[in-house]
Amino acid sequence: MADADGNKESVEFHTNIPQKTEGFFLKGSNSLEWGMKDRLARIFNPKSGRTVMLAFDHGYIMGPTSGLERMDLTIVPLIEHADCIMCTRGALRSLVPPTINKPVSLRYSAGTTVLTELNDECTMNIEEAVRLNASLLAVMVAVGDKFEGVTMRNLTHAVDMGTRYGIPTLGVTAIGKDMARDSRYLSMAARVCAENGAHVVKTYFCEGFDKVAASCPVPIVLAGGKKLPELDALTMAAKAMDQGACGVDMGRNVFQSENPVAMLKAIKSVVHENETPKKAFEMFETLKNEL
Ligand code: 5RP
């Protein structure tokens, strides 16, 4: 118990300096609770306002994807270079060292594989996400798909449960089989996720991406998609940043690269330092021979 007698009297009230009331740096996040903001500030760098997330959750629907056959050998050495990791609870418990000290975007929905019909998903328990110290709950949302209702309920459930514990939700827009990957569809999917409570949205690049980003009231992170030549992937990332994305959440374009560490560093230079794709590619070429 603190001593009651002999304490130094308070004198430094600085009555001439008003206490600052600062806004939160991330789009659409100012009214969130402290715990949510703390988790988001661990994912998004408060200086650049952006993030480079490394996604390796593919196994939950695809099994041992190329580059992810032995995640202990290919992914674990990459983690230190990412701002945040996106993975399943299975990968986290079995392979990711608990000493990494990186925020985790936890794959919170799970379901049918590529062998059957995709997107028939459910969610895990919130206590499990809390136990794993998740910073973000990643939920697939299939707007316009047969499983739209199921996945929207999953999103709503994740937002409700996450809000109870101060964990934000990432709405991951799935592309329905018959949907065009265009700005009309993607802006609708992103907006629907945000309006239903997602704190961050992951979606694809398209012509008119600036409209997708502008009409989404929360930060958008760019989904990578299938492996592209490195210069093309860097160009796509740079265009997305110019047009309003707040970072990337990439998997195959990193771990299927000729040199994943070099590629991750080149992507970071585009995302955090606004490096041009040409310069970032030169950086990749130099680093790939050194690392
Ligand atoms: C689907 C996902 C994936 O599981 C994964 O994260 C995608 O990463 P990439 O397309 O960059 O390989 O979220 O949307």
What does the pLDDT read at residue 9?
Answer: 86
What does the pLDDT read at residue 7?
Answer: 84
pLDDT value at 71 more than 80: yes
- In this prediction, residues 44-56 reach a mean pLDDT of 98
Q: β-strands 136-141, 121-123: how paired?
A: unpaired
3-class state of residue 202 by DSSP: strand
For ligand 1, is residue 172 a contact (CB within 6 Å)? yes
For ligand 1, is residue 58 a contact (CB within 6 Å)? yes
DSSP-derived letter for residue 175 is P
For ligand 1, is residue 57 a contact (CB within 6 Å)? yes
What does the pLDDT read at residue 11?
Answer: 84
Q: What are 56's two structure tokens? A: 């390796």
Q: What is the pLDDT of residues 109-149, one digit of tens each?
A: 998 899 998 899 999 999 999 999 999 999 999 999 999 99
User: Domain boundaries in the chain?
Assistant: 34-40+48-258
- Local confidence band at 20 (pLDDT 50, 70, 90 cut-offs): very high
For ligand 1, is residue 223 a contact (CB within 6 Å)? yes
For ligand 1, is residue 87 a contact (CB within 6 Å)? no
- Ligand 1, from 65, 108, 234, 249: best to mutate by most atoms within 8 Å of Cβ? 249
What dihedral angle (degrees, nearest 10) is formed by the CA atoms of 233, 170, 198, 142?
A: 70
Nearest atom in ligand 1 to 227's CA? 12
- Ligand 1, from 66, 68, 74, 86: best to mutate by most atoms within 8 Å of Cβ? 86
Please name the amino acid found at residue 124: M
pLDDT value at 229 more than 80: yes
For residue 20, indicate whether it is catalytic: no
- Local confidence band at 181 (pLDDT 50, 70, 90 cut-offs): confident
- Ligand 1, from 58, 107, 173, 186: best to mutate by most atoms within 8 Å of Cβ? 58
State the distance from the centre of ligand 1 to the C-alpha of 228, rounded, in angstroms: 14
pTM of the full structure? 0.95
E-state strands within the chain: 51-55, 84-87, 104-107, 109-111, 121-123, 136-141, 169-173, 200-203, 220-223, 247-250
Classified by CATH at the fold level, domain 34-40+48-258 comes out as TIM Barrel (3.20.20)
Q: What is the pLDDT of residues 191-213, one digit of tens each?
A: 999 999 999 999 999 999 999 99
State the distance from the centre of ligand 1 to the C-alpha of 225, rounded, in angstroms: 6
* Crossing angle (nearest 10°) for helices 230-242 and 277-290: 140
Marked catalytic residue, from 27, 102, 146, 202: 202
Spatial distance between the Cα atoms of 235 and 115, rounded to a whole number of angstroms: 33
Residue 2 contacts by C-beta under 8 Å, 6 or more apart in sequence?
none
- In this prediction, residues 87-115 reach a mean pLDDT of 96
Residue nearest to atom 3 of ligand 1 (CA): 58
For ligand 1, is residue 162 a contact (CB within 6 Å)? no
